Structure formats: structure tokens, C-alpha cells
């Protein structure tokens, strides 16, 4: 039985965007323009008050002691790993179902990525499979809070602590997401270090690249500040091998303006996700995103599983001017660039299967109910014809 959800004849189909950065900018234009202008007027483009203000404010938002801004979320991961002083061949555990950056930095530092398969419902690292992946060379665990939902941190922390292994949370997709262990905490603040990305399409997006690392450990904070700044505290004196990874002042100014709206951005995404849940509740052969009751999902992506012919669904939606995306089409352990680590197809069957089923629907802060109804009606019709 098809329920007609809403009259969608007034939806201009061409308007539906996977991510609508322009729409959000136009809504906040006055504040953002003023913030950018103040940097131009100040003549301070690297470091300076906007960057330190952002670090302090993000720390208060996250309820964490130290925030180190850096150039992007990939550098954030690299800086966090470098702060652990690892040796070539040391092992770092992560998931094969994530953006490449998580694994790339492990490889770049001469470390060995060790994968743990994911949970089929949440797409996050399966904590029940973590213990078996730990060896006497394991030096770090990087859980990823994929699509905006926390990994199952209680169990991950329990296993990591029992071996004394530090955790770096990749919270690039999950700023503002929360998890309930002994109390509710923000993603990125539960492990030893947490990393964030301000890539424009992330939930708190700059208008260029940006990133940050946070920690409650003062020694690691000091070290990461050095590393992000050529290994130097005093100009031209170097204590450690570092990198040039700074958050631009203009990006910091944009982020300062947008940070005031982050809770509203999150609320809008959750409202949109709730609407998709409602509109697609009876849709055959589609599985909706599963929500961990101990997590506050911030819906960086709204990712369904299309159980029959996902690619057919994606193409048919595109013909109706409805964008969608596959995050991610191929797990990292079978990627050509990473074959040298010796993994094979079949090693992480849930990650592999998920790559064939996932479909992320348009999700952003400007999505309207009418647009979502139009998207959902089309998915329902298509899933019936594909069945
Ligand atoms: C976006 C992202 C990163 C990298 O962030 P950049 O700012 O693009 O370098 C790392 N990990 C995950 C899971 C991401 O989604």
C-alpha cells in the first residue's frame, strides 16, 4: 500500500543537492562576511587571535582541555600518531570501512594498518572483534565515528585500557556527536586524542581545509602543538621533526562564526533524519540507518542499505534529478594502494558487503520536508519496481 506522503508538485527537482553549502552561506552571510572582513582588516593571516579564539571555543564546546588547530583532518590524524613516537612496523588498528585518510596516515608513517571488521548495523568497528586483532606490536587504535554516529566506545575503551593502548578517535564526521558510557561525552574526547575535519561539507565546515586535534593530556597537547608547527616552539630552534600544519586565520574566522550555529546545524540534520525515517518506514528492500541507543547521531550522512540492486536505484534516482552517493564503494583492505599489507577479499566480509549495499541520501542543513518527501516517494516507487 502506497501512502501519499505530501503533495510534492511544487518541489523543483533540480534544487535537490547532496550538500547545500551555498544555501547555508546565504542564510548566515552577514555574520560570515563580517568575520572574514575582520581578518582582512587585521592583516594577520597565519595564527593570531581568530585561531586561538577558535581553539578555546571548540575546547569549551567539546568539554576538553586542549584543542590544537591544524590544516585539515588528515594532518590531525598524522599529528596525533606522530605524538605517540611510534617505530616502523608498529601496528595501528582501525576499520576498513572509512575514508582513506584514516589508513593513509598509518601507511605514510611506516606503520602497519591492522583492520577490524565493522558492525553491520552501525558501520562502525565491531568491538567484539577488537581483542583478536591486538598483538604485542599494537601501538594505537583508531575507531572512526562513521557518518556521525559514535563507535561503541565503552567496549573499545575497555579492551584498549586492558592492554594500555592509546585510542585516537577519528571524529571527522562526528563533531558534536555524543556517546553514553558512564556519562554522556562528546565524540573525540573519550579516547587519548580525537581528530576533527572542517572540510567544507563536514558538519562544521570551513570554506577551504581545516582540522583540529583535542586531548586532555597536557604532554601530548604540548607535543602536538610542536609537531604542527615544524617541531618548533621558538622560531628557528627545532625540538622534534614536525610539519607545517596550521589552520588559516580566515578559516578560523569562518569557523568562529559557524560554531555558534553548530547545535542548530545538528538539530536540523536530526530533524531531516527523523523525516526520512518516517517517510521511508514502510519502504520494501531498504534498511534505514540504525541508531545506537547510547549514541547521539549527528547525521553527517543519512545512509540506507538498498538490499536489491543498489546501483540500479542510484542511477534511477539520478534520472529523476535526485543525487545520492556511495560512501564507500570499495573497502580499504582490497584497494590497490594497500595490497602490500597482505589482506584479501573475504577477510572483512561485513565491510565488503556494506560497500555493495550502502547509499547515502541528500543530507544537509537546508533540506526541506517537501524535498525529502519527493526523494522518499521516488525511492519507494523504485524499490517496488526493482523488487
Ligand atoms: C573527512 C575525513 C577525514 C579527513 O579530513 P580532511 O580534512 O579532508 O583531511 C578523515 N577521516 C574521515 C573519516 C573523514 O571523513
C-beta 175 within 6 A of ligand 1: no
C-beta 102 within 6 A of ligand 1: yes
If you take atom 3 of ligand 1, which residue's CA is the nearest one? Answer: 73
DSSP assigned state of 300: S
pLDDT digits (tens, 9 = 90+) for 127-146: 999 999 999 999 999 999 99
Taken as a whole, the chain contains a residue count of 387
Average pLDDT, the chain: 95
pLDDT digits (tens, 9 = 90+) for 9-34: 556 666 899 999 999 999 999 999 99
pLDDT at residue 348 greater than cutoff 50: yes
Which residues have C-beta within 8 Å of that of residue 188, sequence separation ≥ 6? 62, 64, 145, 169, 171, 174, 175, 194, 195, 196, 214
Concatenated DSSP letters for 189-243?
SSSSEEEEE--TTSSS--SS--EEEEES-HHHHHHHHHHHBTTBSSTT-BSS---
Mean pLDDT along residues 151-178: 98
Q: In this structure, what C-alpha cell is assigned to residue 326?
A: 556511495
Q: How confident is residue 1, by pLDDT bands cut at 50, 70 and 90?
A: very low
pLDDT at residue 7 greater than cutoff 70: no
pLDDT digits (tens, 9 = 90+) for 31-60: 999 999 999 999 999 999 999 999 999 999
pLDDT at residue 195 greater than cutoff 60: yes
Which residues have C-beta within 8 Å of that of residue 271, sequence separation ≥ 6? none
pLDDT digits (tens, 9 = 90+) for 293-311: 999 999 999 999 999 999 9
As a whole-number percent, the residues of the chain with pLDDT over 90 amount to 94
Query: Of 172, 173, 207, which is best to mutate to test ligand 1, by the most ligand atoms within 8 angstroms of its C-beta?
Result: 172
Concatenated DSSP letters for 142-199?
--B-GGG----HHHHHHHHHHHT--BEEE-TT-TT-EEESSSEEETTSSSSEEEEE--
**Considering the entire predicted model, what is its pTM?**
0.96
Amino acid at each position: 500500500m502506497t501512502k501519499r506522503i505530501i503533495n510534492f508538485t511544487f518541489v523543483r527537482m533540480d534544487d535537490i543537492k547532496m550538500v547545500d553549502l551555498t544555501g547555508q552561506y546565504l542564510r548566515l552571510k552577514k555574520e560570515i562576511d563580517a568575520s572574514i572582513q575582520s581578518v582582512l582588516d587585521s592583516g594577520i593571516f597565519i595564527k593570531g587571535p581568530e585561531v586561538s579564539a577558535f581553539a578555546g571555543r571548540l575546547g569549551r564546546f567539546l568539554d576538553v582541555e586542549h584543542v590544537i588547530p591544524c590544516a585539515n583532518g588528515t594532518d590531525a590524524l598524522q599529528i596525533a600518531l606522530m605524538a605517540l613516537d611510534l617505530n616502523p612496523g608498529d601496528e595501528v588498528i582501525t576499520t576498513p570501512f572509512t575514508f582513506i585518510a584514516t589508513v593513509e596516515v598509518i601507511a605514510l608513517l611506516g606503520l602497519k594498518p591492522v583492520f577490524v571488521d565493522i558492525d553491520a548495523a552501525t558501520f562502525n568497528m565491531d568491538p567484539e572483534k577488537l581483542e583478536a586483532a591486538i598483538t604485542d606490536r599494537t601501538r594505537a587504535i583508531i575507531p572512526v565515528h562513521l557518518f556521525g554516529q559514535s563507535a561503541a566506545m565503552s567496549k573499545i575503551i575497555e579492551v584498549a585500557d586492558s592492554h594500555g593502548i592509546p585510542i585516537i578517535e577519528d571524529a571527522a564526521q562526528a563533531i558534536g556527536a555524543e556517546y553514553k558510557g558512564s556519562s554522556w561525552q562528546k565524540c573525540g574526547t573519550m579516547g587519548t586524542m580525537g581528530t576533527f575535519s572542517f572540510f567544507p561539507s563536514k558538519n562544521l565546515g570551513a570554506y577551504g581545509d581545516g582540522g583540529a586535534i583535542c586531548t586532555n593530556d597536557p604532554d601530548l597537547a604540548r607535543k602536538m602543538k610542536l609537531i604542527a608547527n615544524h617541531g618548533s616552539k621558538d622560531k628557528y630552534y627545532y625540538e622534534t621533526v614536525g610539519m607545517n600544519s596550521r589552520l588559516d586565520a580566515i578559516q578560523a574566522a569562518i569557523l568562529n562564526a559557524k560554531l555558534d550555529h553548530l547545535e542548530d546545524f545538528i538539530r536540523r540534520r536530526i530533524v531531516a533524519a527523523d523525516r526520512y525515517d518516517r517517510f521511508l518506514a514502510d519502504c520494501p528492500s531498504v534498511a534505514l540507518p540504525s541508531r545506537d541507543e547510547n549514541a547521539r547521531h549527528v547525521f553527517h550522512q543519512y545512509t540506507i542499505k538498498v538490499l536489491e540492486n543498489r546501483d540500479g536505484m542510484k542511477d534511477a534516482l539520478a534520472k529523476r534529478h535526485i543525487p545520492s552517493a556511495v560512501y564507500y564503494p570499495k573497502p580499504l583492505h582490497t584497494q590497490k594502494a594497500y595490497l602490500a599489507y597482505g589482506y584479501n577479499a573475504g577477510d572483512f566480509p561485513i565491510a565488503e558487503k556494506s560497500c555493495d549495499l550502502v547509499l547515502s541520501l541528500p543530507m544537509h542543513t537546508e533540506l526541506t520536508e517537501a524535498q525529502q518527501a519527493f526523494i522518499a516517494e521516488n525511492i519507494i516507487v523504485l524499490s517496488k519496481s526493482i523488487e
